[in-house]
Every structure is written in structure tokens, then in C-alpha cells.
């Protein structure tokens, strides 16, 4: 069975990512892209759905593990009765073909090691045909092929539809295993030197990490989150996936299992702020350019998410041969929320582009034309109900956060024209829209009796997204309605010291059975709101509590189950790590400008 979600570490090559467990097993890897079919899918099933375990024969869980400095190179250490061994796992940034490299290094004594490679293409469904050629084992099925070798060579054998090896490593010795994916119709991939690749990978990551401008009290946590965000970036386009996985549950045994290997527009503003404020203008610019390409076209066709290269079709289907993580069925590929109406994304797009200008990014020639077209469409649509940022699968409603973000869209458009009046556009009309939206939200989305903004017009329920009201500038943090909303969210949505997204249960709007954990991004938002409303000590205490639930290598999933004391949801989650970076920046006095 797979380990707990927090038992995994991530490695990657900026085009895909693998999850490595504390037992030395790679239980998740999609090749050649984040959104490709998995060749290791034990994470959502068992070893027969594909995995690669490399560990001492006599040991199960490692003694310790860590990343090598500020890199994405993972080092896992086992101390056994006969000696100590280290396994170094990484994926070098690719020339063309993706490589997964695992180097076994003898630290002391001698250790008997075992490698069990079980390749299963198409999310654990297809057992490949394996043959030998030129020192490799080659696994082929349909369009996929994987070339596997060791250096120096160890004896490989086929057994029980797997490729196995048993060998002994002595102090000072190194044995490298290289797994390379390649289109099956092409000639053999270029042979990579695993030891040179390690040196280059470490040097590359160290050079990248040295650009970080943040030097505050939480630098290690911030740096690890930034590295994680970089790891979730699809380098060819600049798109950032929400997570490296699909179908990790928000409730163990439940049905809230979604595919997060795509790029959401609403992450854009928070991601841009985290990257630019930390010194990563190049990545932020690439993300901005991905955003512009993805949303180009008729504004009525704007989607809430896109594929990592800007693909629009992300059909959702179930994978019946996978039982799901800890029997949390169904396992899903694709995401049907792509077809939802979520009006907040218009505000997030315009806010992102406004922020990019404030941060000094070089302007893109057609960016304003696109923004003006989006605004003209939003003017006619903002009064409509929608599914909201939480992608509810129930009826459309007038969600307060969606309306607030419509206000943000109008506000950023007006402010852009005030700063650059020659661009063209009807600032007067957009000011009128801004005022109308503001008045309606304060009148219909605010419960005066409880002194809080609600989830949607006429609702008694709360929504943690209303914590963003002061952050986006809709109302100042000192406004009593903002303070009251923060207090109400703490009182009614608190879950084990953290924050739920909204009320769960019979009154929930999401149209789904079951429950879920505390949502970590929302918990970071609460820390931000507490700090903004003058309660910085409480904000720091909450932030430190959030840092304490990271796993041993500093990673966060989407949610936290305070009762079971474990992480939930897809992993590692970009939204959680963006929240960590932005809260650290805010508490250190380096929050967003504009």
C-alpha cells in the first residue's frame, strides 16, 4: 500500500514530477508531462499499478532524508546493522528525453540492496513488453518506451512482470540507475552520464535559489516553497500546475478526488506576487505570458483553467482499474470544472496584469487590448450567478467573492487608465460599474446582524474567500465589516486550529457528500487578515502552526485533517506553498504592492 501523503517527497525536471516515499519507492510518475498517463501509479493502487522501489533489502522506512541544500535533489539515508547507505534521487532538466536517476552511495560498512522496477503504462493499466538491447532493459507498449540501465552494471532479471536486481554496495562505492522515457517509434535516446548530471543539477538549482531576495526569519520555509513552485512549472510554456497528482482525496474514503495537473487562472495573482516579491521576475514573466496566450480569444470562452500548454479540452473521466488512494474512489483524470462559469477569474486576470505592470515587468503589446475586451464582456455578465471559486457542483449562486472580484476587475481597469490614459477605454463607465458592484455586495452580501460578509447573497453561511476582501482592496482592513468577517470566519469555520473553506454538511453548497479537512491556503489567508487587522502576534502563531504541519522535507498538500493529524488532497499543492510565501512576506513587511 502507498504511504501517507506526507511520506512523499517530490523530484522533477520542470516538465513532470515523481513522488518518492520514505520506503524508497517511486509511487507516482507521469511521462513525459505532468498530465501524461502515469507509468508508476501505485499511489492510487498498489505495486501492481507500477512503482520502483530501491532500498536496503532488510529495511522498510528510511532513517532520515532531506534535500541537498536549496535544490530539488533528494537524499534518503538508511542506517542498517551492517552499514549505512544513501540513495540520491533527482530528475535533471532535460535536453529532450526525461530521465529519472537514482544513485546508491555506500556511506559505511556494506549494505545489501534491492531494486524492484514495475512499469505499468496508462495509469497502471498496461504491462509493457520488455527486451534487452545494448546494456538496457527496454519496456515498450504503444507510444511509450522506457530504457533502463545501471552504471556500473548490476545483474538485472525479469521476475513476476518486473525487473529486479540484488546487489551489495560497500563504503565509498556508487551505483547509478537511469530510467529514460522515449517515444517508442524513435531511435534510442541519448545516453546520459548520471554522475555528471548530478553535478549539473545541483549547480543549476543552487544558482537559481541564489536569486531569492527574501532574507527574513522563515527563509528556509520560503525557499523550499519557491523551489516547489518552480518544480510545478512546465518550463516550455511557463504554466504552473496546481499539483503534481490526481485524485488524492480531501477525505479518506470519500469521493472528493480531483485532477489538479492543470493551470488555474485564479492562482495567477497570488503566484505572481510570490515570485516577483522573492526576486523571480523571469518565472513571473513566463507565467504572465502563459496567461495571455491561454485566455486569448472570445471573452465569452474564457475558462477557469487550462492545460499546461494552454489546452482547453480537459475532459473528466474515471479510471476504474485504480481503487484510489486508501480506497478513496473514484480515481479521476481530467476536470469537468473547466466548463463552469466562475466570474472571479476576470478579476484575477486583470489584477495579475495590473500587478505585473506595477512590478516593472516589460509590457506585452496586446495585453491591454485583451483586458479591455474582457472588461466589456464582464460588464454584461457580472450580475449573473456562477459556480464560484470553489467550483461547486451544485446550483449557481451569487457568490460574494465572485462579485468582489468583478469589482477588482473594474478597479484595476480604471487604475490602469488613470496611470496610462492614452491606452483607450471608457474609464467613466468602468467607474460606474465599480461603484454599482461595491454597493450591491455591501447591501446584499453583508449580514449586519452578525457583522460579516456571507458566502452568497441571502446566505447564512460563511466563506473563507471573504478573507481576501482587504487584500484585494475592496475595503480597508480597519473597516468594522472586515474585522467582523475575520472574527466570524475564526469562530465558525475553524477546524482544529485552521480554517475550512466553507460550511461542510447538509447545508453545504458544493453538492457533494462527505466532508474534508482544513484548507491550508485559507488558513494562510486568515493569518494575512489577522496581520492586516492589527493582530500580528496571532497571525504569527497561526503561521508557525501551519509551518509545523509541513512534512519532513517541507512540503504541503491541499488540506490538513486535524483529527487524524495527516495531510489530505493533491500533493505538493502550489496554492498552499504560494500562501506560505505570501504570508511570510506579509509578516516580514514585504507584502504585495498595489
Residue 320 lies in a domain: no
Residue 593 lies in a domain: no
386 and 252 within one domain: yes
384 and 238 within one domain: yes
pLDDT, residue 270, reads 86
- Spatial distance between the Cα atoms of 117 and 52, rounded to a whole number of angstroms: 4
231 and 197 within one domain: no
Does pLDDT of 359 surpass 80? Answer: yes
The alpha-carbon radius of gyration of the chain (Å, integer) is 24
Does pLDDT of 126 surpass 60? Answer: yes
263 and 160 within one domain: no
pLDDT, residue 364, reads 77
Residue 319 lies in a domain: no
219 and 193 within one domain: no
Q: Is 132 exposed, middle or buried (0-12, 13-18, 19+ CB in 10 A)?
A: exposed
Does pLDDT of 134 surpass 90? Answer: no
H helices present in 280-343, as ranges: 281-295
pLDDT digits (tens, 9 = 90+) for 5-53: 999 999 999 999 999 999 999 999 999 999 999 999 999 999 999 999 9
* Candidate from 257-261, 451-455, 468-472, 507-511 with smallest mean pLDDT: 507-511
pLDDT, residue 187, reads 87
Does pLDDT of 590 surpass 80? Answer: no
Q: Are 287 and 306 in contact (CB under 8 A)?
A: no
Q: Which residues pair with 104 in a beta bridge?
A: 87, 175
16 and 107 within one domain: yes
pLDDT, residue 557, reads 98
Looking at 180, 208, 236, the residue that finishes a domain is 208
In terms of Cα–Cα distance, which of 225, 196, 231, 194 is closest to 212? 225
Does pLDDT of 511 surpass 80? Answer: no
Q: How confident is the model at residue 366 (pLDDT cuts 50, 70, 90)?
A: confident
Model pTM? Answer: 0.96
Average pLDDT in the chain: 94
Q: How confident is the model at residue 394 (pLDDT cuts 50, 70, 90)?
A: confident
Q: What is the dihedral of CA 571, 548, 284, 334, to 10 degrees?
A: 20
pLDDT, residue 272, reads 84
Residue 592 lies in a domain: no
Q: Tell me, what CATH number does 67's domain have?
A: 2.70.98
pLDDT, residue 593, reads 53
pLDDT, residue 34, reads 98
Mean pLDDT for the stretch of residues 500-506: 78
What is the percent of the chain with per-residue pLDDT over 90, rounded to a whole number? 85
Does pLDDT of 184 surpass 90? Answer: yes
Q: 3-class SS at 180?
A: strand
Q: What is the dihedral of CA 30, 32, 33, 39, to 10 degrees?
A: -10
Dihedral angle sign, alpha carbons of residues 453, 455, 458, 460: negative
Q: Residue 367: CB partners within 8 Å, gap ≥ 6?
A: 292, 353
Place of cell 481503487: 323
- Spatial distance between the Cα atoms of 374 and 344, rounded to a whole number of angstroms: 12
Q: Tell me, what CATH number does 389's domain have?
A: 1.50.10.10
Does pLDDT of 296 surpass 90? Answer: no
Mean pLDDT for the stretch of residues 539-565: 98
Does pLDDT of 506 surpass 70? Answer: no
283 and 294 within one domain: yes
486 and 391 within one domain: yes
Residue 318 lies in a domain: no
Looking at 148, 179, 208, the residue that finishes a domain is 208
pLDDT, residue 509, reads 74
Q: How confident is the model at residue 372 (pLDDT cuts 50, 70, 90)?
A: very high
Residue 25: which domain range?
Answer: 5-208
Q: How confident is the model at residue 424 (pLDDT cuts 50, 70, 90)?
A: confident
What crossing angle do the helices spanning 281-295 and 344-358 adopt, rounded to 10°? 140
Q: Please indicate whether residue 2 or residue 565 has the higher confidence score (pLDDT).
A: 565
Residue 594 lies in a domain: no
Q: Please indicate whether residue 194 or residue 269 has the higher confidence score (pLDDT).
A: 194
375 and 392 within one domain: yes
Does pLDDT of 1 surpass 80? Answer: no
pLDDT, residue 508, reads 62
Place of cell 525557499: 223
pLDDT, residue 528, reads 97
Overall domain count for the chain: 2
pLDDT digits (tens, 9 = 90+) for 310-345: 999 999 999 999 999 999 999 999 999 999 999 999
190 and 247 within one domain: no
* Candidate from 65-74, 167-176, 448-457, 506-515 with smallest mean pLDDT: 506-515
Mean pLDDT for the stretch of residues 102-123: 98
Does pLDDT of 388 surpass 60? Answer: yes
pLDDT, residue 72, reads 98
Phi, psi (5° rounding) for residue 353? Answer: -70, -35
240 and 351 within one domain: yes
CB half-sphere exposure, 245, CA atoms < 13 A: 32
Does pLDDT of 96 surpass 90? Answer: no
Mean pLDDT for the stretch of residues 467-476: 97
Looking at 156, 177, 208, the residue that finishes a domain is 208
Residue 178 lies in a domain: yes
pLDDT, residue 367, reads 86
Q: How confident is the model at residue 362 (pLDDT cuts 50, 70, 90)?
A: confident
The C-alpha cell that represents 11 in the structure block: 523530484
503 and 402 within one domain: yes
Residue 239 lies in a domain: yes
Place of cell 479591455: 372
pLDDT, residue 515, reads 83
Amino acid at each position: 500500500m502507498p504511504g501517507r501523503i506526507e511520506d512523499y517527497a517530490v523530484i522533477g525536471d520542470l516538465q513532470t514530477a515523481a513522488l518518492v516515499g520514505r520506503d524508497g519507492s517511486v509511487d507516482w510518475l507521469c511521462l513525459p508531462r505532468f498530465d501524461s498517463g502515469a507509468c508508476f501509479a501505485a499511489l492510487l493502487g498498489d505495486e501492481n499499478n507500477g512503482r520502483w522501489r530501491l532500498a536496503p533489502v532488510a529495511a522498510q522506512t528510511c532513517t532520515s532524508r532531506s534535500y541537498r541544500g536549496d535544490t530539488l535533489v533528494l537524499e534518503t539515508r538508511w542506517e542498517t546493522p551492517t552499514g549505512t547507505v544513501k540513495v540520491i534521487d533527482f530528475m535533471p532538466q532535460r535536453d529532450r528525453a526525461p530521465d529519472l536517476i537514482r544513485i546508491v552511495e555506500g556511506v559505511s560498512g556494506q549494505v545489501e540492496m534491492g531494486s524492484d522496477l514495475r512499469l505499468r503504462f496508462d495509469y497502471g493499466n498496461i504491462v509493457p513488453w520488455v527486451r534487452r538491447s545494448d546494456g538496457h532493459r527496454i519496456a515498450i507498449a504503444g507510444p511509450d518506451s522506457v530504457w533502463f540501465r545501471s552504471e556500473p552494471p548490476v545483474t538485472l532479471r525479469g521476475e513476476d512482470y518486473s525487473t529486479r536486481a540484488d546487489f551489495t554496495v560497500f563504503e565509498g562505492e556508487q551505483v547509478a540507475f537511469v530510467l529514460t522515457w522515449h517515444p517508442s517509434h524513435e531511435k534510442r535516446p541519448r545516453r546520459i552520464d548520471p554522475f555528471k548530471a548530478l553535478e549539473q543539477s545541483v549547480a543549476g538549482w543552487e544558482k537559481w535559489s541564489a536569486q531569492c531576495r527574501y532574507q527574513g526569519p522563515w527563509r528556509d520555509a520560503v525557499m523550499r516553497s519557491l523551489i516547489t513552485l518552480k518544480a510545478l512549472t512546465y518550463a516550455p510554456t511557463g504554466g504552473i500546475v496546481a499539483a503534481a497528482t490526481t485524485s488524492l482525496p480531501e477525505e479518506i474514503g470519500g469521493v472528493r478526488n480531483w485532477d489538479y495537473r492543470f493551470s488555474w487562472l485564479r492562482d495567477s495573482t497570488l503566484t505572481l506576487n510570490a515570485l516577483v516579491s522573492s526576486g523571480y521576475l523571469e518565472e513571473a514573466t513566463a507565467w504572465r505570458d502563459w496567461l495571455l496566450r491561454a485566455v486569448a480569444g472570445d471573452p465569452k470562452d474564457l475558462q477557469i483553467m487550462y492545460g499546461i500548454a494552454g489546452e482547453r479540452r480537459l475532459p473528466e473521466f474515471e479510471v476504474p482499474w485504480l481503487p484510489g488512494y486508501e480506497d478513496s474512489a473514484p480515481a479521476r483524470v481530467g476536470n469537468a470544472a473547466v466548463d463552469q462559469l466562475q466570474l472571479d477569474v476576470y478579476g484575477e486576470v486583470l489584477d495579475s496584469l495590473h500587478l505585473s505592470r506595477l512590478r516593472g515587468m516589460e509590457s506585452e503589446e496586446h495585453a491591454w487590448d485583451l483586458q479591455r475586451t474582457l472588461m466589456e464582456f464582464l460588464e454584461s455578465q457580472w450580475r449573473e450567478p456562477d459556480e464560484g471559486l470553489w467550483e461547486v457542483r451544485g446550483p449557481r449562486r451569487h457568490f460574494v467573492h465572485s462579485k468582489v472580484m468583478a469589482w477588482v476587475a473594474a478597479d484595476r481597469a480604471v487604475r490602469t487608465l488613470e496611470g496610462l490614459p492614452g491606452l483607450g477605454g471608457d474609464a467613466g463607465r468602468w467607474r460606474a460599474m465599480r461603484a454599482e458592484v461595491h454597493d450591491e455586495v455591501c447591501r446584499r452580501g453583508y449580514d449586519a446582524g452578525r457583522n460579516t460578509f456571507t458566502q452568497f447573497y441571502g446566505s447564512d453561511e460563511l466563506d473563507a474567500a471573504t478573507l481576501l476582501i482587504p487584500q484585494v482592496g475592496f475595503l480597508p482592513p480597519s473597516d468594522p465589516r472586515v474585522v467582523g468577517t475575520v472574527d466570524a470566519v475564526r469562530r465558525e469555520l475553524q477546524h482544529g486550529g485552521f480554517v475550512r473553506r466553507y460550511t461542510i454538511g447538509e447545508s453545504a453548497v458544493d453538492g457533494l457528500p462527505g466532508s474534508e479537512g482544513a484548507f491550508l491556503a485559507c488558513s494562510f489567508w486568515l493569518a494575512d487578515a489577522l496581520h492586516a487587522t492589527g493582530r500580528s502576534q496571532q497571525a504569527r502563531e497561526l503561521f508557525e502552526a501551519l509551518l509545523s504541519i509541513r512534512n519532513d522535507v517541507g512540503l504541503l498538500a491541499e488540506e490538513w485533517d486535524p483529527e487524524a493529524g495527516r495531510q489530505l488532497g493533491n500533493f505538493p499543492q502550489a496554492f498552499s506553498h504560494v500562501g506560505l510565501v505570501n504570508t511570510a512576506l506579509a509578516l516580514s513587511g514585504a507584502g504585495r504592492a498595489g
